[in-house]
Amino acid sequence: MTPISPGAPSAPPLRQDARTIALIGLAHGSSHFFHMLLPPLFPWLIGEFGFSYSELGLLVSVFFVVSGVGQALSGFLVDRVGARPVLFFALSSFAAAGLVAGTAQGYTGLLLAAALAGLGNAPFHPVDFTILNKRVSPQRLGHGFSVHGISGNLGWATAPVFMAGIATATGSWRAACLCGALLALLVLAVMVWNRDALDDRQGAWAHETKGGAGAVADEHPMAFLKLPSVWLCFSFFFWSTCALSAIQSFASPALQSMYGLPLSVTALVVTGYMLCGATGMVVGGFLVGRVARLEKVISVCLLASAALLVLVGTGWLPGMAAVVVAALAGVGTGLASPSRDMLIKRAAPPGATGRVYGTVYSGLDLGFCLAAPVFGALLDRGMISGIFYGSAITLALSVVSAALVGVGVAARSRRLAAAVA
């Protein structure tokens, strides 16, 4: 258990922590849902507008360019004005994105919808982790990270079923987008109603206050950018997200082409992958408080996922088995997720939570931005197995980054211990 200094507030009751964790989980799930506002509708967009997969991949890139740049900047905004008002703005942007997508008359309208959704997505990680670190007691923080990750995966898992289901039932992809806008407004109403539990101006615990253990002298706001661990975390997110982008956007059509399965079956691979990831996160939330070398957990789990994706890419499996194995690869990424978030927290200097998470998580956006058109081009050129081989390679590269972060964090801990002694 993390020690609390005598001047720090006592730990709040479980109900109070659980309320904040649940609200942040709901908000984070909505942000991941809007990652998938358009990709589940790609078959309908191709049918109506005749777009190529490369053009559709560019829509994903626009989303993540806006999100990535905004995420790095929003960390500074969150540290300055607080997380709660930024959260309300983000959810409003999602509602606007759904409305614009539902009324789009061509590619330009869809680009605008993607940009608005990216603007809404940008602040979520600085917002979420700032509120969790300041409102949730240290002994429950690992479980808060676990719920945060699980809710994101559930958002990803829900979106294809929600969007494609409504489009199929109504015969209109526009109706699905408008229903997405209504969902964002509903989540916003829940957040406003429970705004007291999201007030990050109160409840700064000792593990995040400047007077707590490991505090350092006041530094320039940009000083954290000098830390190698910050950029290694950034690279970890970049490589691991390249793999995720391939699975989310293109695993379904790739499985359809390789194994001759109907799209209605292969579309389930994304939902299965995310649900398996959520299952892994439940276990990972217990592991994170019991393992000293978090990078070892991350490495084993991600390499296991990479091996499963290589197996799918070989084409040796029976059709349905390939869908199941691809989905099971999500277990490894889920197990690694809470350890990943705690590793970043250990790498962050006190008082710079929003800035560090904003910068590090912008690597996620860059990964989505660059990977989507690259993997889309592989499909357009008939290099189907490259979707799975490429995902496995990028997961292996993320393992290298995580290992180097672990070395850096361990060295920093030794220096702080020596300074205190």
Q: What DSSP line would sit under 207-272, residue for residue?
A: TTSTTSTT------TTGGGG-HHHHHHHHHHHHHHHHHHHHHHHHHHHHHHHH---HHHHTHHHHH
Crossing angle (nearest 10°) for helices 294-313 and 386-420: 180
The pLDDT of residue 71 is: 80
Start-to-end Cα distance in the chain:
21
3-state per-residue secondary structure call for 56-80: HHHHHHHHHHHHHHHHHHHHHHHHH
Q: Looking up tokens 């997110």, which residue turns up?
A: 237
**How far is Cα 266 from Cα 271, in angstroms, rounded to an integer?**
10
Q: What is the pTM of this model?
A: 0.70
Q: Which pLDDT band holds residue 153 (cuts at 50, 70, 90)?
A: confident
218 pLDDT more than 60:
no
122, two tokens: 């940008």
* Second CATH level (architecture) for the domain 16-195+225-420: Up-down Bundle (1.20)
For residue range 33-57, list pLDDT tens digits in order: 998 899 888 889 988 888 887 788 7
Q: Is 281 helix (H, G, I), strand (E, B) or coil?
A: helix
- Percent of the chain beyond pLDDT 70? 85
The pLDDT of residue 410 is: 62
Mean pLDDT across the stretch 170-190? 95
For residue range 313-324, list pLDDT tens digits in order: 999 999 899 999
Q: Which pLDDT band holds residue 358 (cuts at 50, 70, 90)?
A: confident
The pLDDT of residue 352 is: 61
- What is the identity of the amino acid at 376? G
- What is the identity of the amino acid at 313? G
Mean pLDDT across the stretch 148-152? 84
The pLDDT of residue 230 is: 80
Residues 6+ apart with CB under 8 A from 220: none
Mean pLDDT across the stretch 400-407? 79
Dihedral sign, Cα of residue 138, residue 142, residue 146, residue 152 = positive
Mean pLDDT across the stretch 56-65? 84
Q: Which pLDDT band holds residue 283 (cuts at 50, 70, 90)?
A: confident
Question: CB neighbours (10 Å) of residue 417?
Answer: 10
359 pLDDT more than 50:
yes
The pLDDT of residue 87 is: 93
Residue 248 near residue 39 (C-beta atoms within 8 A): yes
Q: What mean pLDDT is reported for the chain?
A: 82
Most confident among 90-104, 150-164, 346-360, 362-376 (mean pLDDT): 90-104
Residue 135's nearest CA partner among 201, 78, 192, 203 is 203
**How far is Cα 367 from Cα 358, in angstroms, rounded to an integer?**
15
Domain ranges of the chain: 16-195+225-420
Mean pLDDT across the stretch 277-281? 84
Q: Looking up tokens 């490259």, which residue turns up?
A: 386
112 pLDDT more than 70:
yes
1 pLDDT more than 60:
no
Residue 32 near residue 156 (C-beta atoms within 8 A): yes
**How far is Cα 54 from Cα 381, in angstroms, rounded to an integer?**
10
179, two tokens: 């229903």
Residues 6+ apart with CB under 8 A from 13: none
348, two tokens: 């962050």
327 pLDDT more than 70:
yes
Residue 312's nearest CA partner among 272, 279, 339 is 272
Q: Which pLDDT band holds residue 303 (cuts at 50, 70, 90)?
A: very high
More confident residue, 228 or 259: 259
The pLDDT of residue 349 is: 66
The pLDDT of residue 420 is: 61
**How far is Cα 46 from Cα 188, in angstroms, rounded to an integer?**
32
**How far is Cα 26 from Cα 42, in angstroms, rounded to an integer?**
26
Question: CB neighbours (10 Å) of residue 384?
Answer: 19
Mean pLDDT across the stretch 199-219? 51
Q: Which pLDDT band holds residue 294 (cuts at 50, 70, 90)?
A: confident
Q: Looking up tokens 């509120």, which residue turns up?
A: 131
DSSP 170-220: HS-HHHHHHHHHHHHHHHHHHHHHTGGGG-TTS---TTTSTTSTT------
The pLDDT of residue 220 is: 62
**How far is Cα 100 from Cα 89, in angstroms, rounded to an integer?**
17
Residue 353 near residue 221 (C-beta atoms within 8 A): no
